[in-house]
Structure 1
Amino acid sequence: MTARPSTMAAVLLTGHGGLEKLEYRTDVPIPRPAADEVLIQVGAAGVNNTDINTRIGWYSKGVTAETGAGGAAGFESVDAADAAWSGTALRFPRIQGADVCGRIVDVGEGVPRARIGERVLVRTMLRAPVEDRPFECWTFGSECDGGFAQFTVAPARDTYAVRSDRSDVELAALPCSYSTAENMLRRAFVGAERVLVTGASGGVGLAAVQLAKRRGATVVAVCSAAKAAEVRAQGADRTVGRGADLVGALGASSVDVVIDLVGGSQCPELLGLLRPGGRYAIAGAIAGPIAEIDLRTLYLKDLSVFGCTCQGDEVFENLIGYIEREEIRPVVSRTYPLREIAQAQRDFLAKKYPGKLVLVPPALDRTG
């Protein structure tokens, strides 16, 4: 057996800002698992919007623009004090990466050594660090180091064994996107009804399409024309072009549930699509965090609005079950060596590909 090295390759986020804040290093000390933690050798790590939003400080209330406006260069208006999921300042350097698939190679005190060798996924929205307090956020790769490295540590109770023939790359595309989508569908009580999904060609969007179909829904997906065929292949019953007149295309009060990942100026139109008693769930605002809505639409139509971030245990437990029963399969369009993270994020921001982009760390016998 080859001895484990003392240092690893990792990408360090050195502060809020542009792509220049991502520093690929090969001399980062390998972390040691503390009590109730496991050490994971990372097989692959997915790229997510939250990685970029965290880097550029988009969660700060000082930022009002869409993600893409500062995705490469960052924003000048960031207040570092409130620029993370939790609304508090991040500590730098930080190893990002909300998605991880890998194997447990060591355990801390209190964790059975029998877990060594397990192939695992890490729950993105960690519950152990906040002691299960509801509606508190502790996000893997944000409030603690994540998966953009050869090794990472995670709470043992938030690290789930997964039995699947899927590759590490495929499995690494699942935790953040699919748990976000599953949480939205659960919060909005989605069943066999008409559901509209915005941003449907992205990682979370395609996950929402698949998972809504799994629940028996009729899915209308909003996406670019270039990606419509792929979105329909993943289960959408109908696609509508991004930027289209949605009420004109679908009819007012014609949708039971809206799963919104885009936000921005289209929010009033989305509320107009909902039938009386309809539900609106949101977990992203890549088109901008500020929207002007007519509050009369909310109360006269008896609409329910769900902001969806924190997740109960059942969300990730459901996801593991779907994977092991082969009920879902992510779309992975490209993989990149970890050192090419900047290019991966450029491609992500350009919306060049449907589904997920995934980073692969170097093998242990080399660090380039």
Structure 2
Amino acid sequence: MRAITLNLDKPTGISLEEVSLPDLKPHEVKVQLKAAALNHRDEWCRQGRYPNISNGVVLGSDGAGIVVEVGSDVESSWLGKEVIINAATFWGEDQKVQSKDFQILGMPSNGTLAEYVHVEASRLCEKPSHLSFEEAASLPLAGLTAYRACFYHGQLQPGMTVLVTGIGGGVAQFAAQFAVTAGAEVYVSSSDKAKINRAKDFGVKEGFDYKNESWIEDALSQTGGMDLIVDSAMGDTLPDLIKLLKPGGKLVFYGATLGNPPMLDARRIFWNQLTLQGTTMGSDQDFKDMVTFVNEEKITPLVDSVRPLEKSLEAFELMKAGKQTGKLVVKID
């Protein structure tokens, strides 16, 4: 089968290769992939910045397709079903935190940027019928991360004032969509006006340009402060975000792309009873709840662009440049 594999011996960091799948295990299914979507971890693997990477592994965590074969221990009713794949594996039994064995599909195990993939049947969920394969493939990793950040940790409720930073990326897009759908008053930040305008199209109230020196003051003046902030940057942005939180507010962060904060305003945090909460992807229960929410509310992921498998490098380059609004999708024929 054709697949995009990690190849750090090449300047591009990836190769389109012919790859053979191992024998199907009793508890696994074979999925013919119709679409896959990129995440930042795929680009970080390509740059050699992800832990425990190795050449030859098929990249990709997000995927949607059709079950074409089942292992001996799997119910035959899965055959022919349109599915999405939960990329989070070995979460464990504790809803609060993942186990030490937790992994994400696509490194170190073979992922979804391929014509076929073998996954445990427990990783399957029927594709929401209102979504195309391209839209459905956009959902798993980013949707799960956003859902856990907003609802499990953020305890999102109607009427809350919410800021989602860095709108345009997959998790931020879903966090904003989920919060709007849940009845929150949602704001976003970005240095790209087009990304802010796209967010307004699905119900975001306003956006702030974080390169504007007065954006914190403007946001406080307009909103009165935030009940919840969902962030992935941290670094030297943290002191400003803390200033934006209302007393009793919460900042949930799922990354630190700008590194560790240079300082922490501990007095403001304890006096205002603020919460700083880290989060990752999510549990199996989070995934089921997220898909149910998407189904019931008929949420449609934002897709930036779609291209064939042989042009995956273009998608990686767009991911690297950070120019996308929504998910970068690879269609697999």
What is the number of equivalent residue pairs in this alignment?
322
Kindly indicate whether residue 237 of structure 2 is the aligned counterpart of residue 266 of structure 1. Answer: yes
Letter in 1 for 2:33: V
- The structural deviation recorded for 1:297 is 2.7
Cα contact 2:189–2:209 (8 A) shared by 1: yes
- The structural deviation recorded for 1:281 is 0.4
Quick one: distance in 2 between partners of 1:219 and 1:48? Answer: 24
Aligned to 2:39: 48
Aligned to 2:155: 189
- 1:158-208 Cα offsets, whole Å, 9 max, x none, are 111224142111111111111111010021111121010001122211111
Identify the match of residue 104 of structure 1 among 67, 77, 86.
Answer: 67
What is the TM-score normalised by the length of structure 2? 0.90
Aligned to 1:80: none
Q: How does 1:165-180 map to 2 (within 5 A)?
A: 165-180=130-145
Quick one: distance in 2 between partners of 1:210 and 1:124? Answer: 21
User: Per the alignment, do residues 289 and 219 of structure 1 end up closer, same or farther by CA in structure 2, a change over 3 Å counting?
Assistant: same
Kindly indicate whether residue 261 of structure 2 is the aligned counterpart of residue 291 of structure 1. Answer: yes
Kindly indicate whether residue 45 of structure 2 is the aligned counterpart of residue 21 of structure 1. Answer: no
Identify the match of residue 239 of structure 1 among 191, 200, 207.
Answer: 207
Cα contact 1:221–1:236 (8 A) shared by 2: yes
Identify the match of residue 317 of structure 2 among 339, 346, 349.
Answer: 346
- 1:79-129 Cα offsets, whole Å, 9 max, x none, are xxxx43xxxx234321111100011111123111221111111112123xx
User: Per the alignment, do residues 174 and 217 of structure 1 end up closer, same or farther by CA in structure 2, a change over 3 Å counting?
Assistant: same
Quick one: distance in 2 between partners of 1:267 and 1:325? Answer: 35
Letter in 2 for 1:341: S
Query: Gaps (5+ residues) in structure 1?
Result: 1-7, 59-82, 364-368
Aligned to 1:202: 169
Quick one: distance in 1 between partners of 2:2 and 2:283? Answer: 33
Quick one: distance in 1 between partners of 2:74 and 2:324? Answer: 40
SS in 2 for 1:265: helix
Quick one: distance in 2 between partners of 1:19 and 1:196? Answer: 38
Identify the match of residue 93 of structure 1 among 38, 56, 60.
Answer: 56
RMSD of aligned alpha carbons = 2.0
Cα contact 1:209–1:219 (8 A) shared by 2: yes
User: Per the alignment, do residues 40 and 289 of structure 1 end up closer, same or farther by CA in structure 2, a change over 3 Å counting?
Assistant: same
Quick one: distance in 2 between partners of 1:91 and 1:351? Answer: 25
User: Per the alignment, do residues 31 and 167 of structure 1 end up closer, same or farther by CA in structure 2, a change over 3 Å counting?
Assistant: farther
Letter in 1 for 2:183: G
Quick one: distance in 1 between partners of 2:179 and 2:310? Answer: 35
Aligned to 1:71: none
Letter in 2 for 1:201: G
User: Per the alignment, do residues 118 and 203 of structure 1 end up closer, same or farther by CA in structure 2, a change over 3 Å counting?
Assistant: same
- The structural deviation recorded for 1:302 is 1.6
Cα contact 2:167–2:195 (8 A) shared by 1: no
Quick one: distance in 2 between partners of 1:257 and 1:247? Answer: 15
Quick one: distance in 2 between partners of 1:268 and 1:41? Answer: 47
User: Per the alignment, do residues 106 and 153 of structure 1 end up closer, same or farther by CA in structure 2, a change over 3 Å counting?
Assistant: same
Query: Gaps (5+ residues) in structure 2?
Result: none
Quick one: distance in 1 between partners of 2:84 and 2:281? Answer: 18
Identify the match of residue 230 of structure 1 among 190, 198, 207.
Answer: 198
Quick one: distance in 1 between partners of 2:200 and 2:11? Answer: 33
Aligned to 1:221: 188
- The structural deviation recorded for 1:295 is 2.4
Letter in 2 for 1:126: T
User: Per the alignment, do residues 207 and 19 of structure 1 end up closer, same or farther by CA in structure 2, a change over 3 Å counting?
Assistant: farther
Quick one: distance in 2 between partners of 1:257 and 1:347? Answer: 30
Quick one: distance in 2 between partners of 1:351 and 1:195? Answer: 23
Cα contact 2:37–2:329 (8 A) shared by 1: yes
Quick one: distance in 2 between partners of 1:282 and 1:91? Answer: 28
Quick one: distance in 2 between partners of 1:334 and 1:241? Answer: 24
Kindly indicate whether residue 88 of structure 2 is the aligned counterpart of residue 147 of structure 1. Answer: no
- The structural deviation recorded for 1:56 is 2.4
Quick one: distance in 1 between partners of 2:93 and 2:122? Answer: 11
